[in-house]
Amino acid sequence: MLREELARRGVPMPQAKTAAEWEAMRGDVLTLMQKEVYGIRPPKPDRVTYTDVTTWEEEEVFMSGIHDKYRIQVEVELSGRKASFAFHMGIPRTMEPCPAFVSLSFYPDIVNPYQPAEEILDRGFAVASICYGEVTKDDGNFADNFADLIYGGRERGPEDPGKIMIWAWTASLVMDYLMTREEIDHDHIAVIGHSRLGKTALVTGAFDERFAYVISNDSGCGGAAVSRGKGGETIEKIIARFPFWFCLNYQKYVGREDEMPFDQNWLLSLIAPRKLLVASASEDLWADPNSEYLGAFAAGEISKLYGRGFAGPDRFPEPGDRFYYGDVTYHQRAGKHYLSRNDWNLYMDYILRDMGR
């Protein structure tokens, strides 16, 4: 049924029948997604320094003293320019290296409405939380902090990165740091984000293969949802309000989804053979759960070349559907656009089970 729906909408599927065929075309897909949607990923910085700037007060009151708290200042140099941001990190005191989240966050504090940090740490996960607005503001100003680092005052060209790509790139700088911490299990690090930051999590994971799990919560348009035939937000609507999230080239697809030589399932496919978790909320029609489900379903075709592919049934989802233990998984929480405690717990259940715990 969903294969017919994809065909009816005209969603293109990458033409790869084996993992080797997919790997032969993967580099071109990465290029396509950069040039047409998110912009070219910035180069490796010339220099990055990480400084622990945690204050004694921050440490002292954190989570009843059973977990450790850090604030790490990241200073980056590129082509003679500098930019910096600080991220917050909680690490549970466990005997073994722990799985971790790189969390793209709307808030500066590690404990916030979308992030039940105490419960995350209590379940044995570390969390490194980046406040996206500290990296570069969520607006059309490309002279701000990391946008300035990358642009150096020049005009935006058609393939230059939008803000999503810039936020995603800094998530990889946090990943570099986590790789130096021996309390962290480097093979079990997830990137997670909600909504616009769910889009950002997908871009982060597509380009950085060190992430074993990529979690997109209610990411919708320009995220997990296929653009063709999508309800709620369309490319036209997202470009009208948030043109700065994408590269300028993307604007040529306003009202012309059918002309795209790809769809969002191509971005999702880049995550294979690693684990992709897509989630929707039943009342989030702006993001359009059915189109998010179709994106995950279609990405499962590439994932299947390596392993289990998509685990959900061949029909549109319903609230409460939980389709675990595929390499691409999906769940639909009843309710509104939100990253809830329930969502987090399901993601943690999945990761722990995947780790055999």
Count of positions on this chain that bind ligand GCU (CB under 6 A): 7
Beta carbon of residue 196, minimum distance to ligand GCU (angstroms, whole number): 3
Distance between CA 136 and CA 143 in Å, rounded? Answer: 9
Q: Does residue 327 interact with ligand GCU by CB under 6 A?
A: no
Residue whose entry in the numeric block shows the structure tokens 């073994």: 96
| Least gap, CB of 220 to ligand GCU (angstroms) | 5
Residue 153 and residue 271: Cα distance in Å, rounded? Answer: 33
Q: Which of 84, 186, 282, 337 is catalytic?
A: 337
Residues 6+ apart with CB under 8 A from 308: 325, 326, 327
Is position 195 annotated as part of the catalytic site?
A: yes
Based on the shown chain and the rule CB under 6 A, indicate whether residue 301 belongs to the binding site for ligand GCU. no
Can you read off the two tokens belonging to residue 25? 């075309």
Which letter, b or e, does each residue of 192-207 get, where b requires 16 or more Cβ atoms within 10 Å of its Cβ? bbbbbbbbbbbbbbbb
Q: Which of 105, 129, 195, 340 is catalytic?
A: 195
CA-closest candidate to residue 218, choices 237, 192, 236, 239: 192
Residue 295 engages ligand GCU in binding (rule: CB under 6 A): no
User: Which CB sits closer to ligand GCU, 125 or 338?
Assistant: 338
Q: Provide the mask over 177-206, with x wherever binding to ligand GCU is found by CB under 6 A and - wherever it is not.
A: ------------------xx----------
Burial class (CB in 10 A: 0-12, 13-18, 19+), 5: buried
Q: Which of 228, 316, 247 is nearest to 32 (CA)?
A: 247
340 is catalytic: no
**x-or-dash string of contact with ligand GCU, 205-224, rule CB under 6 A:** ---------------xx---
Would you name the residues annotated as active-site residues? 195, 337
Q: Footprint of ligand GCU on this chain (CB under 6 A)?
A: 195-196, 220-221, 233, 238, 286
